Every structure is written in C-alpha cells, then in structure tokens.
A and B are shown apart, each in its own frame.
Chain A
Amino acid sequence: MRILKKLLTMLGTVLLLSFLSFLAFQVIPGDAAQVQLGTNATPEALEALREEMGLTDSVPVRFGRWLAAAAQGDFGNSTRYRMPVTELLARMMPNTLWLAVISLVLIMALALPLGLLCARWEGSLFDRAFTWMNQIFMAVPSFFLGMLISFFLGIGLKLFVPGRAVSWENDPIGCLRYLFFPALAIAIPKAAMTVRFLRNSLIGEKRTDYVRTARGKGMSENRILLTQMLPNALIPVVTFLGVIAAEVLAGSIVVEQVFGVSGLGRLLVVSISNRDYNVVQAIILYIGIAVVFVNLLVDLLYRKLDPRVRDEAE
C-alpha cells in the first residue's frame, strides 16, 4: 500500500516535470522551424514548416498529444536528426549509463577506504593533510578537473586521446577505457564529499556508548570500526550516495561536453539549442524517472539498514 502511494507520487512528479519543461520552451525565444530554416526563412516558409511540425496548435493540445503518444512508447521524431527519438536515445544511452556506473564504482572505491582511514586515525597527520586536500577537491568543478585530466593524462602522458570517444557498438572495451577518464573527473569531487561525510559520521559514532562497551569488552579498534561503527555510520551516507547516483545517472552534462562523449547530457544541450522538443522531452522524462527511482531505492535500502525506520513504518 505504501509502495503504491509512493509510486503514484512518483508518477505525479514526473508528469509535472514534463509539463514544466514543455512550458519552458514557450517562454524562451525561437522554435524548431526557425532553427531549421535559418537565415533563408521567409514568413510563408516558416508558417508551412510550423504547420507540418505541429507547432501551430495551443500548448495544452500539443502537450496532450505528446503525452498520449509517449504513454504508448512513441516519443516522435527528432526534428534535427530526422530519426525516431527512441533510436537516437538508444545510441547515446550506453555511454551515459556506463559513465554513471564507472563513476559510482570509483566514488565508492575511493571514498570507503579513505573515509575509514581518516576516521580510524582521527587527528593524525594523514587525517589532517587529507581533510585539507579534500577541501580543494570538493571545490574543484568537474569540468575543470576534466580539462586537467585531458591535459595531463591525455596529452601529457598519452594514456588516452582526449575528445576521441570510442563508441560502445564498435569497441566495448575501448569505450569503457575511454570513459574511465571522464568518470574520474566526475568521481573525484563527489568522492571527496563522500569521504568527508563518512569520516564525520564515523567520528560521531566513536563517542557513543555501544562503542565504549565494545572497547571495554576488549574488541580491537579495527574490528569495532568495521563491524560495529560502519553499519551505523553508513545510514546517512546512503542517502547522500543516493543523491549523487541520481545526479550521475541524469547524465553528466558538462563532463560529457569536455570529453566529447556523445551521451544524453550532450544530446540534451544540443537539442535545447536546436529546439528539438521531442528529444528534450524524452531526456527530461528519463532524468525525472531516474531521480525518482533512485530515491525510491534509497528509501527501501534505508529501511533494510535501519530497523528503527522499518518499525516506525509498520
């Protein structure tokens, strides 16, 4: 019952989001017909093309039409690329999804051990040095980090060729290898935040009674940290990771641009400037669903991890 209610709310959120993004295009100047015809446009030609593109109807009619088709899985054609939106998205999807997966794995792989180490030796030189460095990494925006990575690892050390993204269809291994570098640019600032979060959460646990009891019973510090403190400390971290996962799944718009990855983020930017409504609507819908879905997942996971939440609900 609770799940059903949750699903209904999710549906409402996604619908509202779609409508708002549809509306946004009414506010900004320019339309698909204008972009297509460019400087050669005559008023008559523009009118004819608008008619054909179905841009002459009112906003509610057009939104209704889009919604009805989308509900049946028909997202229309891209006006710019002249192919079905689903086909276009299917081409870009693997890049964005793999980028998200690699980024998330990297975030965990970096944040978990570092967070534990910092908390274990709280106040040590390592902890202090790392906390200080963390501040810097958190502050560096991903796109700038991306440029640094391109420059030093790509052009300097020649570990990869910047801008020459490998397509998933031709060469899956090459594609993943290339995506490792943009994923690094996404992961480092987010990992830095997660380390800080995890460290503080762990240190908070250190002062609790159950840890003192465990210590009194002669448990080793390492065991206390891993078996007693970590499961408790992870609860807030999971929420935080959920937010990050949603963000990464939504397509790393800026980083995709820097590394020339043809993913959903880059497609979204291009489609907005081309006023390619169908593509934008479909991507927004995907992002909306991804975010809402991750939230639901976190919610469920939360209950699994924290019995208190579970009891409350029941």
Chain B
Amino acid sequence: MKKIMTRMLLLAAILTALTGCSGGTGEKKEEDTSKGGSVVVGITQDLDSLDPHKAVAAGTKEVLYNIFEGLVKPDKDGNLVPAVAESYEVAPDGMTYAFVLRQGVVFHNGKTVTAEDVVYSLKRSAGLLETSDPEVQVVAALSVISTIESSENEDGKEIVTIKLKEPNTELTGYLTCSIIPCDYKEQATKPVGTGPFVFTSYEPMESIVITRNEKYYGDKAHLESVTFSISESSDAAFVELLAGNIDIFPYLTEDQAAQLKGQYTIEIGDMSLVQGLFLNNAAAPFDNLLVRQAMCYAVDRQAILDMLSGGHGSIIGSGMYASFGAYYDASLAQKYPYDTEKAKALLAEAGYKDGFTFTIQVPSNYTYHVSTAQVIADQLRKVGITAKIQQIEWAAWLSDVYSAHNFEATIIGLDSQLAPSDILKYYIAGSPKNFINYAEDETFNATYQEALKTVDAKKKKELYKKLQANLADNAASVFLQSPALLVAVNPKLGGYTFYPVYVQDMASVYYK
C-alpha cells in the first residue's frame, strides 16, 4: 500500500513537473513573438547609399537586407528560398531561368510588384538599361544575361524569363539583387522595397530607422521598429553598450565580449569571409612559389584564432569557407600545418636563407585585420622574415592596393554572394578583381569557366574542389580563416539568427 502511494505521488510529481514545464514554455512561446517593441542595433559604418543597387559596403547591405528582397533570398542554412518570386525553374542546359512571380507582393509605397519592376531591377543591376547611372554597381556575374522578358502563364501569373548567352547554373545566387519599383525616382533618399521592414528615416552619421511592414506577404516581423545607430568606432559603440543603450552589436572583440558577459548574451556566429594575408604574386619575393609556401607554413592560424577570437572561427586553407557546403573542401585547411622548420628550409631553397623584409598594407578602419597583421608579423619573425605593418585609409587601399596592385602584402576579408563562382572570382587571370595577380597556373581559368557551365551537380562539386586545390597547391596567398562573429544581444531578446551571408535579419528578433 505504502509502495503504491509513493509511486502515485512520484507519478503525480512527475506529471505536474512535465505539464508545468510544457505549459510554461508553450505559453511563453506564444507570448514571445507578439510583444512588438523596438530595438537599437549598433553599427560602425555609415551607409554608403540607401539605393540598394548603389550600396557596396558590407555594412550597408546588412542593414538594407531588412528593407529589400530579390527574386530569391538566402535562408539561415545557405539555401536560396523564393521571395518576390513564388517558384523558379532552371532549364537543364543552364541557358534559361524562369521565375513565377508571387501575387500580391506590394512595395512599401503601396504599388503592387509587377513583372515590369522585376525586369527593370534586374536590367539595372546587370547594366542593361539604355540610360545607365554610373553610380549603380553593375553585378559582373549578371553580364551573361542576354535577354529578360516577361509573360503570363495559364493561371494569369506573371513570369520573368531570363535567357543567357552561355550556360551558367549559378545565376540564382546573384538574383538576391533587390527588386525596386521601376518608376520611382527617390530611391537614394527614401528607399522603397518589398522587405519585412519599411524605411522610416535616415540621419547622416547618426541613425537609420525602419518600421514593421504591416502588409508583408510572408511572416511579419515581430518588432515594431528598429534603429540602426551609427557609432564612430567599435570603441565608441562599446561605451554605449556598457551604458546599456544598444540592444544588439555585431562586431565585438574577444576582450569586449568577455567584459560584457552577464550584461549581454554573447552569440557566436561566422563572418562568412575569406580572411587572408594576400600576397602580390607579381612582386618579389612573392613571385616565387617556394616563398609563398614558406609563408603558409610560417603562419600559425590556430594561434591567431586563440589570440583574437578566443579560439572561435574556422581555419581555411583555400579561397572558400564552410558556408558553401558541398562545394567546400575542408581537407585543405590542413594543407600547410604550422611548421617553422619547413618554412626555413623552403626559404633557404628559394635563396632567402636569412629571410627578407616586406610590408603589409592593412586598412586602418578594420581593427580586426590590423590585429591579425600584428600577430602574423610576430610569427614571421621566428623564421627570419620581417613584416612591416603600414596602416592605410580605406580610400587609399582601394586605389593603391586593390586597383593599382601596388603592394607586397595586405590583409583583408573577401565576401561573396551565395554562388561558389563569386568567392573564387578574385583569382581569374586578367580580371580587375584579381588584385593579387594570381597567374601561377593556366588551368585555373579554364576550370572556372567549365565549372560555371557544368550542369551535373557531382561534376560541379569536383570542379570547385579542383579550383580550391589549385589555389592551395600554388599557395596563392596565406588563407587564414573565416573569422568568428561575436554579437552582443540584450538578454531580453530572442531569435537572433546568423546567416551564411553578411546580414542582420531583424525580422526574426523578438522580445521574450
């Protein structure tokens, strides 16, 4: 009898515990998302344009992501999901793309999205409009487009058909390009898109405010409004974090994250960048393969992660990072393990027995890259190489390093669209984007073109792995890591989501 009683009590206890649990979370979850409210997100770069086709800085795109959408958009797993388009079909030969437009998608100014708007937006980004605005960033990858036409299917839905000059199976990755109204002239001051948030106001050097799009076709945002507050530097933003007037801040250093623990939740994601010590393959001594390989052996990537990101981040060994999933070759990360003896031997073989001196030019506004340069300079000293660090302005980096190729080495992070061809475009011989003058191997260009055209998925993966191996074998540069992204989030907030591209999605964030 007593036994039964105890058992029943136990059962009752377990039952209440269970129901208590599930009831609690269930209720909480329902409450969660409907609270609305507003948040302040700290950013450290002023927006370079409010027109999505003119914006170039990653810091601008991460904000505009909330206002604009393309035919497709990336989800958190790196897939492309339909947005303004409802569905799409790629012809097996990779020559034709057909997008069925979603019905009833409305721009923030009340106008319904039509095929005309889509055609206009794509043509504008591809540089195919008759009168072009030189400020518009022409997406080079869209230059394979020969015609864009609209039609209607039997259900009365609008279809946009893109025909290409040559087969390309990766175009969808670039069709995240924003859809904007075709007859709207104030895009640069009062931007209008189709995204989950509506542009409200912008004050230069101060803030940009967006509010919930009540007419959004998909899941509406939880927050009523979001203010992106522009801080002068990440140090200034840190002071604001301490004072508690920023809710979300995405670019913490390891030290700052440690100090904020307790006051903020620290979320750790991935920047989705190829950070590297990029070497000018046309300038001595880096025109020598042995020297470049020696450099790869002489850099201790794990130590960089440990020192700068508390061990977070993912080491890479070629020009791609893990977000590319099946295309990414993870084995290359171990191609050049840290080995000072090997580095010294290679240097001796190359005729630099006593090392050499070179200069790393690094843009001073990216403190993370500057810190990386300091760690690397220290490591290289152990094999007899002296690296001088020269901090330069971003404008000077663009003109001297990136355009004029007038440098020995630089540290930068390369970002990409969700297409494997995009992140590897920096190594095509003869391309203006090939700032490191990579031309060690003629097979790279041919393989790249072949990969673009290949329809067979398995073959395509192989080709991309071949390209990555090519870069690693020829030690195109010292590929370092895709750095960790340390984000401070107000503990009252939930739903902060990382994406394999550089964006701050505010639609998923809610007050708990």
Contacts and interface: CB of A to CB of B under 8 A. Distances in A.
Nearest to A91: B204
A262 B398 CA distance: 26
Contacts of A40: 56, 137-140
Nearest to A35: B395
A285 B205 CA distance: 21
B456 to A, nearest CB: 31
Contact of B395 (A34, A46, A83): A34
Contacts of A158: 243
Given A88-B204, A262-B204, A262-B205, A45 B134 contact: yes
A73 interface: no
A258 interface: yes
B75 interface: no
A270 B240 CA distance: 20
Interface size bracket, A side: 35 or more
B402 interface: yes
B134 A48 contact: yes
A42 B242 CA distance: 43
Interface in A59-105: 80-83, 88, 91
B396 A28 contact: yes
A257 B234 CA distance: 12
Interface centre among B134, B236, B394, B432 (most CB of A within 10 A): B134
Contacts of B432: 41-43
Contacts of A30: 393, 395-396, 398-400
A45 B138 contact: yes
A52 interface: yes
Given A155-B239, A260-B231, A34 B134 contact: no
Contact of B236 (A37, A43, A258, A273): A258
Interface residues of B, number: 42
B135 A49 contact: yes
Given A30-B393, A163-B243, A275-B395, A38 B57 contact: yes
B48 interface: yes
Contacts of B203: 91, 167, 262
Nearest to B398: A34
A247 interface: no
Interface string B251-272: 0000000000000000000000
Given A150-B239, A164-B240, A273-B393, A37 B137 contact: yes
22 contacts: A29-B400, A30-B395, A36-B54, A41-B398, A42-B140, A46-B403, A81-B204, A82-B189, A83-B189, A154-B239, A155-B243, A161-B240, A162-B239, A163-B236, A163-B245, A164-B229, A164-B240, A165-B206, A167-B203, A257-B236, A262-B205, A266-B205
Interface of B: 46, 48-49, 54, 56-57, 132, 134-135, 137-140, 188-189, 203-206, 229, 231-233, 236-237, 239-240, 242-243, 245, 365, 393-396, 398-400, 402-403, 432-433
